């Protein structure tokens, strides 16, 4: 077992347990910190979604920085179990909901309240048309409020996804990764 240290917010210095061999790829520390520095105070009291959650690092950071609640979506039950163990150990279960399954299926069941911030970190080989379907379902299935923001991590050589209801407004690159930032716009 290995660990990743939380470096920002009220959980600073706490550890997130990881397991080598499980199918996830944590966002590099520099890009993770740049992302949260970029979104700043907008994370406070927000409803945050960590899609393709893996270890849940992005959602845990959001909680550490003041998010009101986080929904984690993770396909692999083994990884989701590890995530739930980390949330229990960190005392975060009262503000979290872990949903296990393929993200496109999970999105057909809307949350109690729509999300303010959504972070998606799909595997590098996740097909762009499938990712665009995820973005479409976020809008169609009631997962976003009108002022929602979305961040999508991709391999930097892959162009940003496109979908009705989302407008690209910024990109943040580091190493082989880029985070594309989108804002909700009315669907024609």
Residues 89-126 pLDDT 10s: 999 999 999 999 999 999 999 899 999 999 999 988 89
What is the pLDDT, as a whole number, of residue 50? 98
Q: Taking a C-beta distance cutoff of 8 angstroms, is the pair 49, 107 a contact?
A: no
pLDDT (tens digit, 9 = 90+) per residue, 6-16? 999 999 999 99
**Domain range enclosing 41:** 29-184
Interstrand relation of 96-100 and 69-74 (parallel, antiparallel or unpaired): parallel
CATH number of the domain that residue 70 is part of = 3.40.50.150
- pLDDT average, residue stretch 32-48: 94
Cα angle: 149, vertex 122, 159; to 5 degrees = 75
Stated pTM of the model:
0.94
Q: Taking a C-beta distance cutoff of 8 angstroms, is the pair 139, 164 a contact?
A: yes
List % helix, strand, coil for the chain (3-state, nearest 5): 30, 30, 40
Tell whether 173 is covered by a domain: yes
If pLDDT is split at 50, 70 and 90, which confidence band does 32 have?
Answer: confident
Tell whether 82 is covered by a domain: yes
Residue 107: how many other CB atoms lie within 10 Å:
24
Tell whether 74 is covered by a domain: yes
Q: Does residue 27 surpass a pLDDT of 90?
A: no
Q: Taking a C-beta distance cutoff of 8 angstroms, is the pair 39, 8 a contact?
A: no
The sheet with strand 166-174 has its strands ordered as 96-100, 69-74, 47-51, 115-120, 144-155, 177-184, 166-174
Number of domains making up the chain? 1
């Amino acid at each position: 077992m290995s660990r990743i240290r939380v470096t920002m917010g009220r959980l600073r210095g706490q550890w997130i347990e990881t397991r080598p061999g499980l199918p996830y790829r944590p966002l590099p520390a520099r890009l993770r910190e740049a992302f949260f520095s970029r979104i700043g105070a907008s994370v406070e009291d927000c409803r945050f979604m960590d899609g393709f959650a893996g270890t849940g690092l992005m959602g845990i950071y959001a909680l550490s920085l003041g998010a009101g609640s986080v929904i984690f979506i993770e396909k692999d039950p083994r990884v989701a179990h590890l995530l739930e163990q980390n949330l229990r150990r960190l005392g975060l279960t009262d503000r979290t909901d872990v949903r296990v399954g393929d993200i496109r299926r999970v999105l057909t069941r809307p949350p109690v309240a729509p999300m303010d911030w959504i972070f998606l970190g799909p595997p590098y080989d996740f097909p762009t048309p499938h990712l665009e379907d995820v973005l479409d379902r976020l809008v169609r299935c009631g997962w976003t409020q009108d002022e929602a923001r979305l961040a999508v991590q991709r391999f930097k050589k892959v162009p940003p996804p496109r979908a009705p209801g989302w407008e690209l407004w910024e990109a943040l690159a580091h190493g082989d990764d880029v985070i594309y930032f989108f804002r909700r716009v009315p669907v024609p």
